[in-house]
Amino acid sequence: MGCKIKGIALGSVLFLLLPEVCFAADDGDFQYWNTESVSWEANDNLKIKLEEEFRFGNDASTLYYQHSDLGVTYSGLATWLNIGLNYRQIFEESGTNWLSENRPHFNITFKQKFFDWALSNRARLEYRNREDKEDFFRYRNKFTLKTPFKFTKFVIQPYVADEIFYDFNVETLNRNRLYLGFTSRLFSRLKANIFYLWQSSEKSDKWNDANVLGTKLEFSF
């Protein structure tokens, strides 16, 4: 009788722990990413921005990632160029633990218009200082094409973007993100960005996909 009770108790504990122990993004997992930020224009050429992001996986039911990002962007060199320096602190679930990462990153964004189509290309170099693994540099490049079409009084403007990731420690491209979304101005100081993101990532010679619904809100002062 005692062994039976112990077995039931052990089974109950394992059942309660199982979702936490085994959580990992399955191939084709649906996720929800929510980002909120506040930006302040210190002067005509300098912008300061604080961002918080939360990511939910396992069919958008489990919080597995959070970051805080503080950065400054300078646009005084040329109308077609922005330069930014940021620091990002990340907490991400790994098994039963939450691990931290410190990630400073440097950004150069080139901007241009072609027949009223807005083009931008952001090059990012980031240093990943991770709690449980070796440090390394990663390069990211994001190309965005925003249409000239604007709809309704909220200025809904569609766009498409693609971002590649290159890890210097393994010397390979191991992630790609394809975006399809639109931006909107809800109020004079509040902008919204809603998008679908298809992420394809390589790990252990296997590519896994994630389908992401993303929402962003930015308050500006």
Q: Mean pLDDT, consecutive 10-residue segments, the chain of 221 residues?
A: 42 40 71 98 96 98 98 97 98 94 98 96 98 94 97 97 96 97 96 98 92 98 92
Per-residue tokens: 136: 């390394």
In this prediction, residue 24 carries a pLDDT of 60
Domains of the chain: 25-220 (2.40.160.40)
Question: What whole-number distance in Å separates Cα of residue 174 and Cα of residue 166?
Answer: 6
pTM comes to: 0.87
In this prediction, residue 107 carries a pLDDT of 98
In this prediction, residue 95 carries a pLDDT of 87
In this prediction, residue 204 carries a pLDDT of 82
Pairing assessment for the beta strands 97-114 and 117-130 based on DSSP bridges: antiparallel
